[in-house]
A and B are shown apart, each in its own frame.
Chain A
Amino acid sequence: MCTERPAVLIGKPWARYVPSPDAPWNLQRVVHLHRRAGFAATWSELQRDLKDGPNASIDRLLTGRTRCDGVPQDFVSTADTLAIRAGSVERLKAWWVYRMMFGPDPLTERLVSLWHNHFATSAAKVGMAVHRQNEIFRRFARAPFGELLRHVIHDPALLVWLDAPANRKEHPNENLGRELMELFTLGFGHYTEKDVKEASRALTGWTVDEDKFKEDAGLHDPAEKTILGQTGHWKGDDLVRLLLEHPATSERLAFRICELFMGDGATDVGGLKSLAAGLREHHLDIGWAVETVLRSEAFFANANLGNRIIGPVEYVVGAVRALELFDPAPSTLILAEYISNLGHDLFYPPNVFGWPGGRSWINSRSAIGRCNFALALAAGTELGRPMAFDPRVVAQRHGRDGDLAAIVNFYAELLLGVVPPGMWRDRLLKALGPKLVADVPTSRQAVALVLASPEAQLS
């Protein structure tokens, strides 16, 4: 089932990664791959990928075969039931967290999150319509962008969110036209105010009827319009075509892909332009771009390790997975609440720009919130889970049991990919108290400290 795509040479920026002494295929890189392209991994998954090398590991991620732990037999039916029975946006959040935690395809879920941010639509205005939108994101997460865009923009959630039904021939409403250009395709600076007005005219007639997209000719302004220098009797779908053809769209998509997989300072203008050019050659195929980046030397370079802040969802879900808290698992409702308290209220983006991410995930409140989550997780029973957590059991399972230092080493390698150099471990051990006995309470505190450490906020 491995997708065979013809190798396309697009120049040095995205040359393929080959392990070398400078960039060896080691545990740090395996953890890095799973942190960026999924929600962390269990020790078994990490060791398997370490043994099998980068190509096979990435193959598994791309084909939804990467998880060997914690995917229930009845995942699909359970997920479907949870979705059908959701009934409220709070339960829908729990459904999505369930998918991220237990589904076989974490890479797709990361992309769903990217699209949720890109097309930021709030349930505060459109209610449960965000569910169908979320499924569209999932279905077309890695498709050519035109397919995703057309489906999203014909879906009631976005149409209602951006007041499409109110945009009429006699009285245009600029909301949809503006955000379509500024946020979903070209980006700011590649169009004029006149373009926005003309685009809005092209979109007149797009409305929602009986919870479905409807193109109402009676509301449409059929006269000539000039958009981005091109004149014609443009309708909504023509506008979409013009926007997809414009090179700025490929650049914005390249930016989004790099925002997800590449960290601070790891991509330069040349890299972005190269990726954008490649997207244009491949009909804006997101799957192609994702694979290109993940298999690249740049992705695995030293400069791209530990330079990206782990967002709230990845932090929470990743921690639960790495600690193998599958059965019984914490309550997905409670996890969704923690994620929200850390600043990522799923389905409720703060505004049309979504969540800025990066450094903005870290402030006093979210820092304390992450620490409190680490403490709660290590305790085990705080998150709606009936059983307490014994960190030594997981360490034992993988032959890494021992004294407190051994426990800290294991969890640091599991969660961070490597034990941070210098005094990190000694300082942590000192903070655990005078008696360094690896009993259950102290082991829990040790795991909490590793998880709450500044190093654990970066991937």
Chain B
Amino acid sequence: MAFVGRRLLQLIPVAFGVTFIVFFMVHLIPGDPAVSILGIHATPRAVAILHREWGLNRSLPAQYWLFLDRLLHGNLGYSLYYGQSVTSLVLSHLPPTLWLITYAGVLSVLISVPLAMIGASRPDALRDHVVRAVPLVGLGMPSFWLAFLLILIFAIKVQAFPVSGYGSGFFGHLRSMFLPSLTAALALSPVVIRSLRASMLTVLGAEYITTARSKGVSGHRLYLRHVLRNAVIPAVTVLGINIGFLIGTTVIIEEVFAIPGVGQLMINSIFQRDFPVVQGVTLVFAIMVVLLNLLADVAYAALDPRVRFD
């Protein structure tokens, strides 16, 4: 618990650093949110009115201080585009992204574990080469291309899934988010498969496996209880880190599948120069990455009692 508490405390400087960098980087980008909203009708007077309304006529440090002050009171500010609180906007866009990340994580485990086991069972045999080579296609293909391929096959030809969207209700989400999650999982799996396969080969050569075999433990029991459990720890690290990267790639997947997640909110807000939303979403992304890494660390202890937190 102390470890978890310490890691959570580390979130504070990370979040502070992220807000600092993002705030000033966003303001470095040329362009004006008032111009974005007023379009061709952006007369200097109309722009000035909006700047005053939004507080953009203040100095940058004053704006940052206001942002921090609001943040400490649990307020991420107000969207310049929608005029709505950033917290409510981010919270309404968070569930689709969490669905995507979780669903992709589950699918990648369901794809990776059996394939790694098949590969590790006969090293350098044909099945092993296939297991190592074929998933690399998923890694090499751009996500947007793979996404359209899956849509064409499973949504247009087979009509088993909707073309895009988030769906409604648990089963609606399960169905609508399958293809986007599979897209992410296919990109995630090759690394996990290779890592897990390598770990399993190492574990299969260990003395305790020989001992277990000599004691008559074999097959299902041997692989699940002794091999997989020991081999999975490095794979958990790999999965944790890659899901962290996945948070970044959700932006593309959300765009292609028209999923109203935080990734899409981020892109739209950048184009609209909606500074408070960009800051809010970045902060949420940073917290998610830190929490995912923490989750991976905690998972070690659950999987391997020898691991202790110092």
Do A and B belong to a common assembly? Answer: no
